[in-house]
Amino acid sequence: MLPNLSVEDLIEQIKSNKVSPEEVTNHFVKKTALIDPKIKSCISTAFVKGKDGILNGIPFMVKDNMEVIGTKTTCASKILENYVSPYTATAVQKLLDAGGTVIAKTNMDEFAMGASTEYSSFFTTKNPWDLQRVPGGSSGGSASAVASGMVPFALGSDTGGSIRQPASFCGIVGYKPTYGLVSRYGLVAFASSLDQIGPLTKNVRDAGLIGNILIGKDPKDSTTVEKQIDLLKNIENSIEGFKMAIPKEFTKGLSDAVKNVLFDAIDNFKKMGVKVDEVSIPSLKYAVAVYYIIAPAEASSNLSRYDGIRYGLSIDGESVDDIYTKTKDEGFGREVKRRIMLGTFTLSATYYDAYFDKAQKVRSKIVDELKQIFNSYDAIIGPTTPGVAFKIGQLSSPLEYYLQDIYTIPANLAGSPAVSLPMGSINGLPIGLQIMSKRFEDEKVLRIGRNYEMIRGKFPLPEVVA
Amino acid sequence: MKTVIGLEIHAQLLTETKAFCTCEIDVNAKPNTNICPVCTGQPGALPVLNKKAVEFAIMAGLALNCEIHEISSFDRKNYFYPDLPKGYQITQYFHPIATEGYLNLDNGKHVRIRRIHIEEDAGKMVHSSENITESKESLIDFNRCGVPLIEIVTEPDMEKSEEAKEFMEKLRDILRTLGVCSGNMEEGALRCDANVSVVDDNGRSSSRVEVKNINSFRYVQYAIEYEAERISKALKDGKDVKHETRGWNFVTRTTVSLRSKEEENDYRYFPEPDLPILKVSKSQIENIKQNLPELPDQKSERYVKTYGLAKDNANIIAKDKIISAYFEKLVSSKMDPKDSSNWIVNDLLALFNADSVDFNPDKVPIESLKVLMEYTNSGKISRLSAKEILGEIYKNNNNPQDIIKEKNLIQVSDENSLVPVIKKVIENNPSVVEQYKKGKTSVVGFFVGNVMKETKGKADPKVVGDLAKKILDGEIK
Ligand SMILES: [Zn+2]
């Protein structure tokens, strides 16, 4: 029964001596050994035990773009295939200090660039609900591991939806905190102004519990801020009288199946005494375009350091330039190369004003329009993804693929908190409800999620047979 | 033809730790010992700004009469080189911390400063051959990587290579006085790139050439001189002057082409997302301003005004904070300022200059110089002996009294022992006595000189002169 328990339940069981911390850890380690060959969530296994604390005995997995000293941090890239972390990311360290134990590093799209784990240089992770389908991405390894019961929770990172989209596809909870609440120190940078670490959990309370441990100003990350936030304090309070906004831009073009699930969700909110309005946020239609300028631009700079000189893959050549060319050509996959080239182009002196600078301006416009909405509404809700998990190999054009992030990107552009939790299912496959609010309203986002979870009722977990 | 010169100067800041991590800065450390995940560009590492570097940059900005911006920001300058671990340098491109300053040269020229910004240094490379392309092997030391720099960019306001050299020397003196940079060009703590172009008599300007790798104050002058001449000659010959970057070769004393404009990097500057906007408050700036040390020019002016020092002496003493501290200690111990300045400039500094070393007060303690000055003033020793003793102190760090005793240098000024010597010199030179009698009183100097020779410099020349006159005039028999 252990695998279906939440972090909170496990802590309770351990506290009341029904099970020992070691038994809990061992159970999940064994379960991982049994199931992972089928799901392929993990790139490498590890065993890094923390101090004594509330998470005593609770194992977790870490997306393979976070440094954990002594473990390989590959970012699912050949260029870092044998790179061993010389230090530990602050977010991971906080969980270790709270008593947690890292038992594996999880698969992802290479350097977090993707929405399916198909862009991992090593292998594609399977969706535990249907092994023919992708788990979503880029934190697909972490999401599938939690959904299939290998660990009670895992860490992911979210640059354009990389926590929320796989949470939606795997039927679990994925929480992206406000930008600046959780330290990025030790998170291998993809797009620094958008990246944020967050938990993937079985329910909203666990997201609050783990979130509380992760949040805090880090002297090693200058973009973090000091905020007194307790995500669990008011999480059970009613949301009667709240006002939700659903942007027209989010519902336009939705399939009937998704619309139906969304209408059920709206009914549920209304039952709780929540007002739901349709609104228009015109600039949202540019969000994907803006994101695909800013994120590759920052990425092209962030990935410059993988040059074959100090660490990672290094292919010898005739000259320094030859070493660079050969190493990068061999080390980076197609999608990563595509984005580096895109970013290099938009930052070039000739095109900077037309692309990067323009995108920054539109980003500000989006932030302003969202701010306007949050002046009158508590949150923006909608589906997390345009549909349920797609089949492995199904999406072949990059553009179609990029549209996966259409609902999740705005929160990253605005630095807003957002959570995805199961909204319902379509043909036995889960789809998430996204709740997003203004910066530092993380408590509110999780409180709304918790209320929705209560009225929705328990959401099942997939049966994975070894 | 007119030469137009602008400078781009990099100055390493003397902070204890690096610009964006907590690694110590120690030029003597073994290679790759002062490094960490941040300054070696490990995945996931993030920069944290060193506040001291900001303070130092503001000090330099204020000293160079710049406007200090309450809001500035950092950007990434992207390019690939093995000594640049992140593949980009963190700098301030769009919004520098200081702009629009100036520095005045001694000829009254007002050299405008366009901007001062904070950035980080790269690592140091050692090649097995001349350069990276010819080397089979290159080693990288990342100790220097991330050391804070300020880049100071002037407007093209200079016309002579001497002006550029003077600018650099004045800048060094200011930075040293502030204590923000060692100012050592040979060690690379202060670096200068010169932008040189030549305008012909019809007002047509050549392309601008950037000269790099200038590693001494003298070479600032030589490199610019060479380059200006090279460009002028090309213009005269009707040849094309390429817009390019050239390197100064101090062995051949020429410049050679490094890369053309077309080969320049596109640095793809964009705002550094890992660092928030840099805010400094008005009161912080005001506070730094209040605590600025007196700058060389102000100090020199004060020396001229309150102590009556000669302008040249005042400049020489004021430009170095160790020398000026030494001078002020002498003055505060009741020594005459003008006299002190003469001793320091003409005698003391001459010793250090002869060895081409920086002034070091430990080599000639203030007390020792004070004793020499007092003995000289009271006539106990001659000025000549004093100079000799000073050299002795400088060499062996002896006590002046011991040297005087040991060498028996106490000046002879009593009549009884001097009169016989003077008489002898007078007797031996009857023709000079004739001249004196004819009214040429200046020949007294001749007798004094000879008496000094006879007494091996120990006689008090003033007393000898007086006595000689008296003997010649028959007042002493
Ligand atoms: Zn360091």
> Domain boundaries in chain A?
7-241+379-456, 293-362
Confidence of residue A70 (pLDDT cuts 50, 70, 90): very high
Model pLDDT for residues A139-171, shown as the tens digit of each residue: 999 999 999 999 999 999 999 999 999 999 999
What's the pLDDT score for residue A219?
97
Cα atoms in the Cβ-side hemisphere of radius 13 Å centred on B56: 28
Structure letter (DSSP) for residue B34: S
d(CA B68, CA B193): 24
Task: Looking at the structure, tell me whether residues B422 and B395 fall in a common domain.
Answer: no
The CATH number given to whatever domain includes residue B458 is 1.10.10.410
Q: Residue B402 above 90 pLDDT?
A: no
Residues of chain B in Cβ contact (below 8 Å) with chain A: 37, 40-49, 76, 78, 80-82, 85-88, 132-133, 140, 266, 268-270, 273-276
Three-state DSSP class for residue B242 = coil
Q: Residue B211 above 80 pLDDT?
A: yes
Q: What share of chain B is helix, strand, coil (3-state, %, to 5)?
A: 40, 20, 40
> Which residue of A lies nearest to B83 if distances are taken between CA atoms?
A309
Q: Residue B458 above 80 pLDDT?
A: no
Distance from CA of B393 to the nearest CA of A (A): 53
d(CA A350, CA B435): 89
Could you tell me the pTM of the whole model? 0.87
The segment with the largest mean pLDDT, out of A384-398, B118-132, B407-421, is A384-398
Under 8 Å between Cβ of A153 and A180: no
Task: Looking at the structure, tell me whether residues B195 and B215 fall in a common domain.
Answer: yes
d(CA A437, CA A416): 6
Please name the member of B40, B132, B275 whose beta carbon is closest to the beta carbon of A310: B40
Cα dihedral value A220, A224, A226, A228, nearest 10: -120
How long a stretch of residues is chain A? Answer: 466
What's the pLDDT score for residue B36?
96
Closest-CA residue to B172 (of B161, B159, B181, B162): B181
Chain mean pLDDT for chain B:
88
Model pLDDT for residues A224-258, shown as the tens digit of each residue: 999 999 999 999 999 999 999 999 988 888 899 99
Q: Residue A94 above 70 pLDDT?
A: yes
d(CA B70, CA B74): 14
Give the residue, B201 or A329, on which the prediction is more confident. A329
Q: State how far the alpha carbon of A122 is from the alpha carbons of A41, A118, A187, B212, in Å.
A: 11, 9, 20, 47
Helix (H) / strand (E) element for A164: namely: helix A164-170
Under 8 Å between Cβ of B23 and B40: no
What crossing angle do the helices spanning B161-178 and B296-307 adopt, rounded to 10°? 90
The segment with the largest mean pLDDT, out of A247-261, B341-355, B410-424, is A247-261
Taking an 8 Å cut-off on Cβ atoms, the answer to whether A304 and B133 are in contact is no
Q: State how far the alpha carbon of B176 is from the alpha carbons of A429, B319, B322, B463, in Å.
A: 70, 9, 10, 46
- In chain B, which residues have their Cβ closer than 8 Å to the Cβ of A222? 46-49, 274-276
Q: State how far the alpha carbon of B463 is from the alpha carbons of B89, B445, B473, B474, in Å.
A: 71, 12, 15, 16
Helix (H) / strand (E) element for A340: namely: helix A334-347
Q: State how far the alpha carbon of A171 is from the alpha carbons of A130, A144, A429, B101, B424, in Å.
A: 12, 9, 8, 61, 120
- In chain B, which residues have their Cβ closer than 8 Å to the Cβ of A300? 78, 268
User: What is the number of domains present in chain B?
Assistant: 3
Task: Looking at the structure, tell me whether residues B131 and B184 fall in a common domain.
Answer: yes
Under 8 Å between Cβ of A373 and A279: yes
What's the pLDDT score for residue B361?
84
The encoded tokens of residue A85 equal 């972390």
Task: Looking at the structure, tell me whether residues B12 and B80 fall in a common domain.
Answer: yes
DSSP assignment of A73-119, as one string?
--TT-GGGTTPBPSS--HHHHHHHHTT-EEEEEE--SGGG--SSSTT
Q: Residue A3 above 70 pLDDT?
A: no
Distance B99 CA to ligand 1 centre (A): 29
Taking an 8 Å cut-off on Cβ atoms, the answer to whether A185 and B46 are in contact is yes
What's the pLDDT score for residue A356?
96
Task: Looking at the structure, tell me whether residues B83 and B211 fall in a common domain.
Answer: yes
d(CA A187, CA A195): 9
Confidence of residue A136 (pLDDT cuts 50, 70, 90): very high
Q: Residue B130 above 80 pLDDT?
A: no
Q: State how far the alpha carbon of B449 is from the alpha carbons of A62, A449, B68, B385, B467, in Å.
A: 93, 105, 62, 14, 13
What's the pLDDT score for residue B4?
93
d(CA A325, CA A329): 6
d(CA A356, CA A345): 10
Superfamily (CATH H level) for A7-241+379-456: Amidase signature (AS) domain (3.90.1300.10)
The encoded tokens of residue A216 equal 């805090």
Closest-CA residue to A63 (of A181, A209, A212, A167): A167
Q: Residue B134 above 80 pLDDT?
A: no
What's the pLDDT score for residue B358?
84
Under 8 Å between Cβ of A6 and A458: no
Chain mean pLDDT for chain A:
95
> Which residue of A lies nearest to B32 if distances are taken between CA atoms?
A310
Distance B288 CA to ligand 1 centre (A): 27
Distance B126 CA to ligand 1 centre (A): 20
Under 8 Å between Cβ of A266 and A277: no
Neighbouring residues of B207: CB distance < 8 A, sequence distance ≥ 6: B197, B241, B242, B243, B244
Q: Residue A105 above 90 pLDDT?
A: yes
Q: Residue B22 above 70 pLDDT?
A: yes
* Ion ligand 1, residue ranges at CB < 5 A: B 21, 23, 36, 38-39
Task: Looking at the structure, tell me whether residues B386 and B419 fall in a common domain.
Answer: no
Task: Looking at the structure, tell me whether residues B219 and B315 fall in a common domain.
Answer: no
- In chain A, which residues have their Cβ closer than 8 Å to the Cβ of B270? 297-298, 301, 347, 352, 356
d(CA B176, CA B319): 9
Q: Any idea which residues of A carry the catalytic annotation?
A: 63, 138, 162
d(CA A76, CA A460): 30
What's the pLDDT score for residue B409?
63
Q: Residue B37 above 90 pLDDT?
A: yes
Please give the average per-residue pLDDT across A442-448, as a whole number. Answer: 98
Please name the member of A301, A307, A349 whose beta carbon is closest to the beta carbon of B266: A349
Please give the average per-residue pLDDT across A66-83, as a whole number. Answer: 97
The encoded tokens of residue A387 equal 């549909």
The encoded tokens of residue A247 equal 């942007």
Closest-CA residue to A171 (of A405, A395, A401, A433): A433
C-beta atoms surrounding B177 within 10 Å: 23
What's the pLDDT score for residue B238?
81
Structure letter (DSSP) for residue B71: E
Confidence of residue B410 (pLDDT cuts 50, 70, 90): low
Taking an 8 Å cut-off on Cβ atoms, the answer to whether B44 and A189 are in contact is yes
Q: Is the dihedral of CA A160, A161, A163, A169 positive or negative?
A: negative
Q: Which of residues 269-298 of A touch B (CB under 8 A)?
A: 297-298
Task: Looking at the structure, tell me whether residues B390 and B359 fall in a common domain.
Answer: yes
Region of poorest pLDDT, from B129-143, B175-189, B313-327: B129-143
Give the residue, B224 or B108, on which the prediction is more confident. B224
Please give the average per-residue pLDDT across B342-356, as a whole number. Answer: 84
Q: Is A311 on the interface with B (CB under 8 A)?
A: yes
Closest-CA residue to B262 (of B276, B245, B246, B249): B245
Taking an 8 Å cut-off on Cβ atoms, the answer to whether B268 and A348 are in contact is yes
Q: Which domain holds residue B458?
A: 415-472
Task: Looking at the structure, tell me whether residues B263 and B164 fall in a common domain.
Answer: yes
Task: Looking at the structure, tell me whether residues B273 and B139 fall in a common domain.
Answer: yes
> Is B477 contained in some domain?
no
Please give the average per-residue pLDDT across A40-51, as a whole number. Answer: 96
Task: Looking at the structure, tell me whether residues B437 and B389 fall in a common domain.
Answer: no
Q: Residue A1 above 70 pLDDT?
A: no
Confidence of residue B393 (pLDDT cuts 50, 70, 90): confident
Helix (H) / strand (E) element for A339: namely: helix A334-347
* Domain closes at, from B381, B406, B431: B406
Under 8 Å between Cβ of A308 and A324: yes
Q: Testing the interface with B: which of A304, A313, A345 to mutate, by most B Cβ within 10 A? A: A304
| 3-state SS track over B372-402 | HHHHHHCCCCCHHHHHHHHHHHHHHCCCHHH
- In chain A, which residues have their Cβ closer than 8 Å to the Cβ of B278? none
DSSP assignment of A382-451, as one string?
EESSSSSPPBTT---SHHHHHGGGTTTHHHHHHT--EEEEEEEEETTEEEEEEEE-STT-HHHHHHHHHH
Please give the average per-residue pLDDT across A71-78, as a whole number. Answer: 97
Model pLDDT for residues A172-182, shown as the tens digit of each residue: 999 999 999 99
- In chain B, which residues have their Cβ closer than 8 Å to the Cβ of A223? 273-276
d(CA A160, CA A414): 11
Q: Residue A351 above 70 pLDDT?
A: yes
Task: Looking at the structure, tell me whether residues B131 and B272 fall in a common domain.
Answer: yes
Q: Is the dihedral of CA B19, B20, B23, B29 positive or negative?
A: negative
